[in-house]
Chain A
Amino acid sequence: MNINRIVSSGFKILGRNRLRTFFMTLGIIVGTVALFLSMSFGEGSRREMMNSIDHMFSKSSIFLIPGGGGMMSGQQSSTDTKLTLATAEGLLENVSSLTLYDPMQVIPNIEATYQGKTVEIPVYGGTENAAVVWNRDVIKGEHLSRRDVTGSTRVVLLGTKTAEALFGQEDPIGKQIRLNNTPYEVKGILEIAGLDTVHGMDRDDEVLIPISTMTSRLTNIDYVRALKFLVESNADTEETLAAMTDFLRDYHGLTEDEPDDFTLITPVAVEAMIGTLNQTFSVFLPLIALIAMGVGGIVIAVLMLMNIKERSMEIGLRKALGARNKDVFVQFLIESGSIALVGAVTGLGFGFFMLQVFALHGKAMVAEPATIALSFGLPLTIGILAGILPANKAAKLDPIVTLQA
């Protein structure tokens, strides 16, 4: 028996039934594209998120936040012991492996104006160590100096987007902007930091002022939301955490049976937390795509069954003329397999095309080899599996019945 001849004979009929063939192919294409894009989207988002995490933790560092509930405890309550710069100085003096710190304090919404242009932006407070501690220098002008912090000077560093919104093409360095109607001199432009996907903020649309200026002029409180410490790279993290805990418990006057009223966060812990968030992208989206593909498989099976019903005369005839059950089975399985193959290849091609389109619009999506293999192999497998039942049904048709006119 000549498989080629049998298959090409089936294809002629398939090729002349364009609409149904088209819909079967379309089902596979949609499933392939959905799976491919959702997985690529998930991977792209995961990497973006990891980048911003890496950026925050590029040096070996420890975060200190108030409250004892751990990092997911949410907003600090008013009864929590406050963290101040004095706390930080004390830690630096007493724990030898800590090298530098910078506070984290932010006012979410402040009006910034320059010559009639107004933007609403978050204002951060920092010290002269901010550039090193947060791994974010200026690309123009100068960063905060020791004098700016000790003297509570009214200087400001702008994120690139804020600078563009207020100044356009104009050079902002040395110009005066107003924050809540108080004039500040623009001292520098901050490096591009991109989106903070963890908190959902655009880190290029913000400004940074000395923490002392912030506490004295804008907030009138001296405690901060968090403190970030840099640790000597060869220091033992566990020992450092233990020493910090000892100091803080003592500093806050906690007795033995009182729990910690602060939380220390290390990069390892943050990555673990991000891993949980990532499941949304890496599991949930592909799961939806899988369901879509399962539905696609059912559609193919149903269309194939209709196909076989419509072609029952053809099948009976082929059998009367000498086709064995096996020949009929192979013919129909190869037909549905080919539809799945064409669908998977087309879907993957379209998926890559969409990847380019999204890339042009700034959304980086990453197609890993595993994604490509899965979004090619799975639709193909489903297409073939969906073809087995109909092909088997076709093979078992009785020519006497189907040829009764």
Chain B
Amino acid sequence: MIELKNISRIFRKEGGIEVKGLDNVSLSIKRGEFIAITGPSGSGKSTLLNMLGFLDQPTSGEYHFEGKAFGGQHSSALARVRNKEIGFVFQSFHLLKNVTALENVELPLIYSDKKHIRKLAEAALMSVGLGDRMSHKPNELSGGQQQRVAIARALVNEPALILADEPTGNLDSQSSAEILEIFNNLNEQGKTIIMITHEADIAQRANRIIRISDGQIVSDQPS
């Protein structure tokens, strides 16, 4: 599904200093995998996730997604790929606070060609067990519920890949368990999931763990 070949991402800071966010990373991901990416902060985890999610582009190297080579595409084309193929889940949920759970879940569909977006959003919220919270606003929901809304939003457009950046980082242990349960179920249904975490026990819930340090993959093994 995904092939990274010798991917590097170099950031130019003030004064011409170059920082390597990713350094010659090669990686192969198959459909249906559940991968945890771990590593210290600043190691390049997020840069890798942004790269995989078409939010960022490599300085050098090749990125193949579903057999297609990416690099140098127009930002509109990348926006389209993000919309169709990627579902993002963030540590701090990133829900729009002034609108309801249902309207939050509709957001990706607004930018798609899909019809009946309300029905699709309702179905996605029901699938994460929030069928009775659709018209609640984020501040009327618990942290775990908010993250479930965010997962519903990530799922609603039926993407091939779900990218989660510390999805349990702001949650208590019980809510974390619920979220991981949802991820495991989605994975069993065939969704490909890539999750950043720095907690070892959470990484264990994935079936493959990639460790990154200084922009390089230092280990890649099944959990």
Contacts and interface: CB of A to CB of B under 8 A. Distances in A.
B55 interface: yes
Nearest to B96: A314
A17 B97 CA distance: 11
Contacts of B94: 313, 317, 403, 405
A326 B56 CA distance: 18
A265 B112 CA distance: 76
Given A400-B56, A403-B90, A405-B90, A12 B107 contact: no
Nearest to A314: B96
Contacts of A277: none
A323 B55 contact: no
A317 B112 CA distance: 15
B27 interface: no
Interface string B112-138: 110001000000000000000000000
Contact of A12 (B55, B98, B117): B98
Interface of B: 50, 53, 55-56, 75-76, 79-80, 82-84, 88, 90-92, 94, 96, 98-99, 103, 106-113, 117, 153, 157
Interface of A: 1-2, 5-6, 9, 12-13, 16-17, 313-314, 317-327, 399-400, 403, 405
A52 B57 CA distance: 76
Given A313-B94, A403-B94, A320 B103 contact: no
Contact of A400 (B55, B79, B84): B55
Contacts of A6: 110-111
Instruction: Kindly list the 10 A-B residue pairs having the minimum CB-CB distance in the complex, ordered from nearest.
Output: A322-B83, A405-B92, A16-B98, A322-B111, A321-B108, A324-B79, A324-B76, A5-B110, A323-B111, A317-B94
B51 to A, nearest CB: 10
A320 B154 CA distance: 11
B103 A12 contact: yes
Contacts of B111: 1, 6, 318, 321-324, 327
29 contacts: A1-B113, A2-B113, A6-B111, A9-B106, A9-B107, A12-B99, A12-B103, A13-B99, A17-B98, A314-B96, A317-B94, A319-B79, A320-B53, A321-B108, A321-B111, A321-B153, A322-B84, A322-B112, A323-B79, A323-B110, A324-B76, A326-B76, A327-B111, A400-B50, A400-B55, A400-B56, A403-B90, A405-B92, A405-B94
